[in-house]
Chain A
Amino acid sequence: MSHSIRSIAYIAAQADETAEEVAETPGFFDNAWLDGFQFHFGEWIKQIVDWTDQNLQLPIEIIKWPFDFLFELLMSTDPGRTAIMDIPWFWVAIFFFIIGSAVRNVKVGLASAVMVATCGLLGPDYWSETTKTFGMVFISVLLCALIGVPLGILCGRKDAVWNVVRPVLDAMQVVHPFVYMLPFIFFWKIGEVSATMATMVFALPPMVRLTNLGVRQVPDDVVEASRSYGASERRVLTDVQIPLARPAIMTGLNQTLLLAISMLGIAALMGAGGLGKLLLRAINSQNLPLAASGGLAFFLVAVVLDRISQRESDDGLGLFGRIREAWTYRADPEGLLAAKAERSAESAAAAAVEAAAAEAANVGGDERPAPVSARERMGLLLAALGGIAAMVSVFLPWGSDSGLVSAWGRRSDETGLVGQSFTGFEATGGSVFAIIVLLLGLLAAAAAIRPLVTIGDGLPRLFARIQGVMFALLGAGAVLVWVLNILNVNFRPLLDIGLIIFAIAAVAIMADIWTQGTRRLGADGALIAGAGAFGSALGYLLLRPSSFVESYSHGVGAYLAVAATAAVVIGGLIAVLAAPYQTRRPFKLSISWPLVAGAVLGLTIIGIGSISAWLIDQRLDSLITPEIQAEIERLEEEAGDDINKQLANGQAITNLINSARAGTSPTFNSLAPEGPGLGIPAIALAVLAALGVLVASGLLGGDERRRWIGATLAAGFGLAALVIPAAWILSFTRSAEPQAITGAGSIITLTGAFALFAAGRSVVGEFVRRKVYSDSPGRSVADDVDIALDGGGSMADADLVGSGTP
C-alpha cells in the first residue's frame, strides 16, 4: 500500500515538472500547480496500524477470542469433531421445523423445513456451504445482539451515551464496507473472523437503534409508575423498559439478520466460507449452474431465517418487500416501527372485523357447522374409502421386471431384474409417485372423514400437550447431542430416539390440526387432495418405460392407485355438489380478470414446459469425452480457493465445455416419443384445471356456488398437474446417476401448474361451510341484547358500580 502511494506521489511530482515544461503560462483551470500540494494520510494510518499490530497484540487477540470460540464451537474444521457442516440436512430440517413451530407457528416451521430440505437436495457441495452460511449468520447475529441490545438499552436510558453512539452508527451505515475491510484484514487476517467483524459493522446499527428507540418509547408514566412504587433503577429496567421494548428489540434482531445476510457476498470477498464464496467462485468461473443453485440456496436461507424471526403481521409482505423495507429504513427506525405498527394495526383491524362478524352471526346462540346431508355423506364416505384404498395400494407391487421411473436415471434398474416386483415404496417401484399418492390419499381421507365426526375439547388439549412435551424433549435432546459432540462422545441410539420423538410430535401436530379442523378439512379439501393423488397415480401409469428397458409390466398397486384416487375424485365431487358452502364475504368483482389471466398464463407456461427438456441424459453425450472431463476436473482442482486462479481456469473450463457442446445434446422433452411422455397427462390435467379457473373467475356465469365448484376442481387438477413434474424431479433426486439430470422443462411445468393451483385455491379460500345456529338454554334474549349493545366499557362500568362501592 505504502509503495503505491509513494509512486503516486512521485508521478504527481513528475507531472508537475512536465506541466511546467509544456505549458509555460498555466491557465485558471490548470491542476498541475495544485498537484504539488499533498499530505500523506495513508502513511499516517499505516504507521498507526503497524504500531498497533506490533505493540497491541494482546487486545487484538482478546477481541478475536469470542469469534474464535464460536467458530471453533460451531464450525470447527477439526476432523475429529462434528461441526454443523457434518450434520445431515434431514436433521437440520427437523431442527428448523421445531424452531419455526416453537417461535412462530407450525406453518412457518413446516415451510422452513421444506426450504432447508431443498437446500439439502441441491447436493453435498451446496449443503456444506449452506450450513456454513447458517453458522456465519448465526454467529454474527448472536454477537450483534450481545453487543447491540445492552448498548441500545444504555443509549435509551442515557442521553449522553446516545449522543456519542449515534454519529458512530451513522458513520457505520454510511461508509461502504470496502472502506473498512482492509483494517480488519490487517489485524485479523483474511478469513471468517474479519469477515464476521465487517458484517457486524454493517448489521449492528439497526439493533442498537431499535433497542434504543424501544426503550425510549416506553410511556413515561409507566416508567414513573414503576419508580414511584420504589423500584430500583435495575428493576425499572427489567420490569418495565425491557419487556415493553421487546417488540422493537425483536424487530431490530430481524433487521440485523437481514442485513447480515445481505453482507454475505462481501464477507466472501474477505475470505469467509459459505454460499457467498460459492457464488463468488461461480462469478469468477462463469459457472451458471453453480451460480443458480448457489443463488437458490442463498435465497432459501434468507427466507427461512427471515420468516422465523419476523413479526406475525409481516407475513404478507414477502421477502423482497421486507429486505427493501430494511434498506429503506436502515437509518430511520422510527419510520420502520411506524410502518410496522400500521401494518400490525391493519391486520388487527381486519381480524377484529372478522371477529365482530362472527360475534354478530353468533348472537342467536351456539353455532355449529351445517349438518351433513345424505348425498354429501355418501360422497365423503366414497372419498374416504378411496383415500384409504390409495394408501393401501402403495404397499402392493407397482411394477415388475425393471424400474419404471428409476430406469430413466439409473442404469442398474434397466435390465436384469426380471421376475422381481417392487412396491410403491421402493425407488425401483413407485418411487416418489407412490409416496405422493400415500400422503395425498391420507390427506384426502382425513379431509373426507372430518365433517362426519364430532370431537370434544379433551382431544385437542391432549394433542397440544403431547406436542409441547415432545418439543421440550427434542430441544433438550439437541442440547445433549451437542454437548456430547463437543465432548467427542458418539451415542448413536440418541439419534434414533430423537427420530421417534419427532415422529410422535409430528403425528400429534397433524392430529391437533385435524381435531381442531381447518376450513379445508371437508368435501373440497378431499376433492383437491384426491385429484392430486390421482394425478400422481395417473402420471406413473402413463410414464413410458425407458427405451433401454427390455421388459416391464405394471403391478396391481399402480392400477389400484389410479382406481382408488379416481374414486376419491368422484366421491369428493359428489360431496362438493351437495355440500352447503358459502362465501365468507361478498365477492368484490363480478368477473375476476386476474384469474382469467392466471389460467392463460399457467397453460402457456405448461405448454412451454412440455416442449422443454425433462431429461438430459449426459451418459449418452459422447461429446464431453472422459479426457475433457478429466481436464476440467484437473483445472478445478488446480484453482482451489485462489480467486485469481479460479478466474483464469474458469475461463479455460468454459471454453472446453463450449467446444465440446458443439454437437447436439441428448435431451428429451415430455412429449417426445422416446422420452418419458409425462407431458401428456400433465397437459390434460392442466387444461381441466384451467377450465376450472375460468369457471371460478365468473367468466362463465356469476353464480357463487358454481364458481366455488370450479375453483375446487381447478385447485385439484392444478395440484394433479403439479405433482407429476414434482414426482419426476424428486424421483431423480432419489435414484439417478450423476450424469442423468432432470431438465428445466419439468420445473417450468411445475411452475405453470402451481399458478393454476394457486388461482383455484385463492377462490376456494373464500368459502366456508355454512353455519347453523341454535339457542342455548342458558341464555336469554335480554343477555344477547346486552352483548349487542355493549360496545365500549361504559356499560360494564355502570354495572360494576353498585357492587364495587364498599
Chain B
Amino acid sequence: MSTTTSANGADEIIRLENVYKIFGPQPRGRALKLAKDGLTKNEVQAATDHVVGMTDVSFEVKRGETFVLMGLSGSGKSTAIRTVNKLHDITDGKVLVDGTDVQRLEGQDLQKFRQKMGMVFQHFALFPHRSVIDNTGYGLKVQGVDKDQRDKASLEALNLVGLGAFANSSPSELSGGMQQRVGLARALASDPDVLLMDEAFSALDPLIRRQMQDEMMAIQAELQKTILFITHDLNEALRIGDRVCIMKDGAIVQVGTPDEILTKPATGYVAEFVQDVDQGRVIDVSTVMTQPVKVDRSMSAKDLLTAIGDDGGFVVDSDGRPTELVMAKDVYSAATNGDGLGAAFSAEFDTTTADAKFNHVYAHAGKGKILAVTDGDGKLVGVLKPKDMIEEMGRVESLIDGFEREVFM
C-alpha cells in the first residue's frame, strides 16, 4: 500500500476522459447539454426526465494499482466500471484502455478486448448449471483453450483461493463466501491484465468480507494486477485501495490516496464519510509521529529540560536504537526529591514501528509516556506524544465543523 505509486510516473492503463452517461430515450439531447452545463443529477432529472449516470467523470488507473471507486447507490460507480469493458455505452467522452478507444470496439474486436479482463460481481453471477471448475474455466473456454489446459489453469486458480477440493461441486452447494472465491478464481484463471471488481465483497458477512479482503490483498501482492474496485464501504475502500475515488450523483468528488481522503476531505460529503471511519486503521504511525529528542545521561537537569521541554527524550546507543526513556516530570521529581538525576532515566518504555497502523498504539495514549518509533532496523526515527495522539483522534470531528452540514440521503 505504498502511497508513492500514484506520485511516480507509472504508466496508466485505464483512462476516462470527461465521460457522460445519460439514461433515457434521448440521451444525447437536452439532458446531455444540461449536464455539460454543470447542472446536477437531480436538476437534470427534474428538467428532462433523463437519469444522469455519470457526469464529467475523468480518472486514470495506473498499471499494477488498486484503484477504488467509492460511492453510495446511484452514484454512478457501477456504471463507470461497466464502461471500461463496454458493458455500457457512454453518451459522451472517451474511455481508453491501454491506448484503445473502447467505444469504437465492435464484434470480435470487442470480444477479444474483453478477454483481457476479468470481472467479479456483487452477487457472484456464477453459472448455476456448471460445476465450479467449469465456472472457473469459462473465460478460457470462451478463448478456445482446450479442456485439459483449461482445467489445469482453473485448478491452479481455485487452489489460489483455497477451493481446489470443491472443483467438481455445483455452485449452489457452496456458501456465499466460497461462491465469491469461485468468482475471484474465475476472474484470475484467464490471467487477465485488469480485474474489474463490482462490489465484489458487499454481499458477504462482515467477517467473511474481511477475510476476502485480506486474501485479495495477498493475491494482489503476488500477482500485481491492475484492479478497479467498486464499493460503497469507505472502510473497505481505504483498506485495500492504493487510490480512492469518491463519487456522488454521477460526479467525482475527490480522488486521492487513503491518507489524503482522511486528512484532507475535499467536501463536507467526504468528511461526513470519513467521520465514520476508524482512522487509526488507515493512518500510519509515521504521519502522527514527531522528531525524536535524543539525550544522554551526561546532560544536566537544566539541559535535559531545555531539550525535552514538557515531554520526554530517549537515550540511544551507537546504532541509534533507543535504550532509555527520560520524561520531563521525572526530571522534576528527581530534582525536588534530591535523588540523583539517574532515577529519572528508565529502561521501561514502549516501542512501535513507523509503518504500524495508528490504531495499534491507541492504548498507549493514556499511559502518559512518549512512545519510541523505530524503523525496520530498530533505529529510533520518531516519537509519539500522548497529546498528539489524542489530538489526532479528535481531528476528524473538528474537520467536519469546517464544512456546512448537509443532509445526505
Chain B CB within 10 Å, residue with most, of A225, A235, A240: A225
Does A419 lie at the interface of the complex (its beta carbon under 8 Å from any beta carbon of B)?
A: no
User: How far does the alpha carbon of A806 sit from the alpha carbon of B161 in the complex, in Å?
Assistant: 8
Does A804 lie at the interface of the complex (its beta carbon under 8 Å from any beta carbon of B)?
A: yes
Instruction: Convert A217-246 into 0s and 1s, putting 1 for each residue whose CB lies closer than 8 angstroms to a CB of B.
Output: 001011011111111100100011001100
B68 CB to nearest A CB, Å: 19
A804, B177: Cβ atoms closer than 8 Å: no
B125, A221: Cβ atoms closer than 8 Å: yes
Does B290 lie at the interface of the complex (its beta carbon under 8 Å from any beta carbon of A)?
A: no
User: How far does the alpha carbon of A519 sit from the alpha carbon of B301 in the complex, in Å?
Assistant: 95
B368-398 contacts to A (CB < 8 Å)? none
B367 CB to nearest A CB, Å: 34
A229, B125: Cβ atoms closer than 8 Å: no
Instruction: Convert A763-806 into 0s and 1s, putting 1 for each residue whose CB lies closer than 8 angstroms to a CB of B.
Output: 00000000000000000000000000000111011101101111
A793, B114: Cβ atoms closer than 8 Å: no
B162, A801: Cβ atoms closer than 8 Å: yes
Q: Which residues of A contact B87 (CB under 8 A)?
A: 224, 227-228
A701 CB to nearest B CB, Å: 47
B139, A230: Cβ atoms closer than 8 Å: yes
Does B127 lie at the interface of the complex (its beta carbon under 8 Å from any beta carbon of A)?
A: yes
Contact partner, A231, options B111, B125, B126, B163, Cβ 8 Å = B111
Chain A residue with minimal CB distance to B122? A221
User: How far does the alpha carbon of A804 sit from the alpha carbon of B181 in the complex, in Å?
Assistant: 10
Instruction: Convert B110-131 into 0s and 1s, putting 1 for each residue whose CB lies closer than 8 angstroms to a CB of A.
Output: 0111110111011101111100
A220 CB to nearest B CB, Å: 9
B218, A806: Cβ atoms closer than 8 Å: yes
Assuming the A-B contacts A229-B114, A794-B207, A803-B162, are A219 and B125 also in contact, with contact meaning beta carbons closer than 8 angstroms in the complex?
yes
A244, B163: Cβ atoms closer than 8 Å: no
User: How far does the alpha carbon of A804 sit from the alpha carbon of B123 in the complex, in Å?
Assistant: 21
Number of A-B contacts (CB under 8 A): 101
Contact partner, B121, options A224, A240, A801, Cβ 8 Å = A224
Does B211 lie at the interface of the complex (its beta carbon under 8 Å from any beta carbon of A)?
A: yes
Does B219 lie at the interface of the complex (its beta carbon under 8 Å from any beta carbon of A)?
A: yes
A797, B175: Cβ atoms closer than 8 Å: yes
B19-60 contacts to A (CB < 8 Å)? none
Assuming the A-B contacts A794-B175, A800-B163, are A230 and B121 also in contact, with contact meaning beta carbons closer than 8 angstroms in the complex?
no
Does B73 lie at the interface of the complex (its beta carbon under 8 Å from any beta carbon of A)?
A: no
User: How far does the alpha carbon of A805 sit from the alpha carbon of B215 in the complex, in Å?
Assistant: 6
A229, B115: Cβ atoms closer than 8 Å: yes
A793, B176: Cβ atoms closer than 8 Å: yes
Assuming the A-B contacts A229-B138, A230-B143, A797-B178, are A805 and B162 also in contact, with contact meaning beta carbons closer than 8 angstroms in the complex?
yes
User: How far does the alpha carbon of A792 sit from the alpha carbon of B178 in the complex, in Å?
Assistant: 12
Assuming the A-B contacts A227-B114, A229-B190, are A806 and B138 also in contact, with contact meaning beta carbons closer than 8 angstroms in the complex?
no
Does B17 lie at the interface of the complex (its beta carbon under 8 Å from any beta carbon of A)?
A: no
B163 CB to nearest A CB, Å: 7
User: How far does the alpha carbon of A243 sit from the alpha carbon of B114 in the complex, in Å?
Assistant: 23
Assuming the A-B contacts A228-B196, A229-B190, are A222 and B127 also in contact, with contact meaning beta carbons closer than 8 angstroms in the complex?
yes
Q: Which residues of A contact B310 (CB under 8 A)?
A: none
B125, A225: Cβ atoms closer than 8 Å: yes
Assuming the A-B contacts A230-B115, A230-B142, A804-B181, are A796 and B175 also in contact, with contact meaning beta carbons closer than 8 angstroms in the complex?
yes
Chain A residue with minimal CB distance to B175? A793
Chain A residue with minimal CB distance to B114? A230
A738 CB to nearest B CB, Å: 56
A247 CB to nearest B CB, Å: 11
B225 CB to nearest A CB, Å: 14
Assuming the A-B contacts A229-B115, A796-B178, A804-B161, are A243 and B222 also in contact, with contact meaning beta carbons closer than 8 angstroms in the complex?
no
Contact partner, A805, options B111, B122, B214, Cβ 8 Å = B214
Q: Which residues of A contact B113 (CB under 8 A)?
A: 230
Instruction: Convert B144-179 into 0s and 1s, putting 1 for each residue whose CB lies closer than 8 angstroms to a CB of A.
Output: 000000000000000011110000000000111110
A800, B115: Cβ atoms closer than 8 Å: no
Q: Which residues of A contact B126 (CB under 8 A)?
A: 222, 225
| A→B interface (CB under 8 Å) | 219, 221-222, 224-232, 235, 239-240, 243-244, 792-794, 796-798, 800-801, 803-806
Pairs of residues from A and B, 4 with the lowest C-beta to C-beta distance, nearest first: A793-B175, A804-B162, A230-B115, A221-B125
| B→A interface (CB under 8 Å) | 82, 85, 87, 108, 111-115, 117-119, 121-123, 125-129, 138-139, 142-143, 160-163, 174-178, 181, 186, 190, 196, 205, 207-208, 211, 214-215, 218-219, 222
Interchain Cβ contacts under 8 Å between A and B, 20 examples: A222-B125, A222-B128, A225-B126, A225-B138, A228-B85, A228-B87, A228-B119, A230-B111, A231-B142, A243-B127, A792-B175, A793-B178, A797-B208, A798-B207, A798-B211, A800-B178, A801-B215, A803-B162, A805-B162, A805-B218
